Structures are given as structure tokens and as C-alpha cells.
Amino acid sequence: MLRNGLEPWHLLVVAIVVILLFGSKKLPEAARGLGKSMRILKSEAKAMKEESDVAQSVPVEPTAVHTSTESPMPTPTEPPATAH
């Protein structure tokens, strides 16, 4: 049934149907919009890649370690009040 896949006449039929559905005036506008969207997507992907490359190249300094013998949280002197 689909031995040869898409042949040139298949693409011609699809092109004619698209032109009939959308009209010849709307197609250039749609192509411009698609091109603009692709450029935006490409620039955003490039920015994300550059951002991740910068994040990986920045060395992370170790955080200060608490070595005191005191507990970091003060212990309460009175027990908390309970609601009845």
C-alpha cells in the first residue's frame, strides 16, 4: 500500500489543498510568522546553552561548616503551650 512513501505528486496534491484552504494571501504571512518563531526559538536555545556553559565554568566555593560544640538552634527554656 505505502511501498514508495511520498512521491512528488503526493506533495503536489498536498500543496494544492493547502493553497485552496488558506488562500494565496495568507500563506506568505504564515511563512513569515513561522520563520520568526523559528528564529526566536533558535536564539532562546542558544542563550540557554550559553547560560548553562557559564554556570558550569564558574567554580563553586565551599560553604562554611559549623564546627562549634553549641547547637545551632537555641533550646527553649519553657515547654511550648498546648491548646485545649
pLDDT tens per residue, range 48-79 = 998 888 777 766 566 666 555 655 666 666 66
Identify which has the larger pLDDT, 55 or 45: 45
* pTM of this structure: 0.44
Q: How far is CA 7 from CA 2, 3, 15, 82, in A?
A: 10, 10, 13, 80
| DSSP-derived secondary structure letter, 77 | S
In the chain, the N- to C-terminal Cα span, in Å, equals 79
19 confidence band (pLDDT: 50, 70, 90): confident
22 confidence band (pLDDT: 50, 70, 90): confident
Q: How far apart are CA 82 and CA 56, in angstroms?
A: 50
Q: How far apart are CA 24 and CA 41, in angstroms?
A: 26
